Amino acid sequence: MVVWIEDHLSVATPEGIARIDSVCSTAIPPETSELNELVKNCQIHRHTSTCTKNNSVCRFNFPRSECLETHVIDTSSNEFIYNGGRICVLKRKSEDGWVNNYSPALLKMWKANMDIQPCGTNESVAYYIAKYVSKSEPTNLDGEVSRAIQQIRREETDVSRKLFKICMRILRERQVSACECVFRLCHLSMRDSSRKTIFVNTRKAEQRYKVLKFNEAGQAAGYCANIFERYEKRPAEHPNYDFNNMCLIEFAMLFGHTTQNRQL
């Protein structure tokens, strides 16, 4: 989750650092605080097999070193690399080396683990989002899926059943978060937007994939029409639309797929 704070002071100024300290924390609250149990249950790092996946030491840099004051890191320094590309090191006591960064206000509402980190610049926000969007799948995923596809292709079943099995195998082999699992199992919407999007495949005609069309017996019976074919078959004349001067993008924006019994 990315939280944008409007009119935030520059993190390179003392006022900006003070703002970060007021929002972020690495300390275990006093026993009398309502956050004490939340921090102990949710924010204390415990080593797992993923910590040493690519190295012999914890790749999340726990336990973290003591830091007397919150400070911004020079992006060309070794400290920036050691800090995992984060631009800021939060103030931390020696006894809080295992505490993950958190926001007291957000932790009260979220009541689950978080790793809050100030981004500071637009470039840092873009880097943070791109890093998670482009996070790679397990290295053995391609091999597992390829072997599964070869096995399924040899089965004596119809095409639709084979495609279904392949899709299920890919989903089973992928690593997904607990949230995504819940959304898929409960058939909840994975995304929501106030704007509708339309995908137009811009590859060459011979490289575009097509969707199979099945008859009542469940056998493949050709391909479904795509946006390009529907655009080519648009009416020559229409009282409300100038189809002759309408480009593909405008056509895709104005018209959607309909059943065979209906016309534009």
Residue 113 to residue 1: CA distance in whole angstroms: 13
What is the reported pLDDT for 65?
A: 87
pLDDT at residue 260 greater than cutoff 80: no
Does residue 43 have a pLDDT over 90? yes
Q: Tell me the mean pLDDT in the region 209-238.
A: 86
Residue identified by tokens 């290295």 is: 139
Count CA atoms within 13 Å of residue 170 on its CB side.
Answer: 9
Give pLDDT tens digits for 112-149. Answer: 999 888 877 666 677 677 766 666 655 555 666 667 76
> Mean pLDDT in the chain?
80
Amino acid identity of 186? C
Residues 6+ apart with CB under 8 A from 211: 223, 224, 226
What would the pLDDT profile of 76-111 be if each residue is shown by its tens digit?
677 766 666 677 888 999 999 999 999 999 999 999
Residue 261 has pLDDT above 60, yes or no: no
Angle between helices 141-153 and 159-173 (to 10 degrees): 160
- pLDDT bracket for residue 264 (50, 70, 90): very low
For residue 148, what are its two tokens? 């599964």
Residue 231: pLDDT over 80: yes
Provide the 8-state DSSP code for 29.
P
Query: pLDDT tens, 140-156?
Result: 556 666 677 677 767 77
Q: Which amino acid is at 212?
A: L
The percent of residues in the chain predicted with pLDDT above 70, rounded, is: 81
Query: What's the confidence (pLDDT) of residue 123?
Result: 64
Top-ranked range on mean pLDDT: pick from 6-10, 34-38, 52-56, 83-87: 34-38
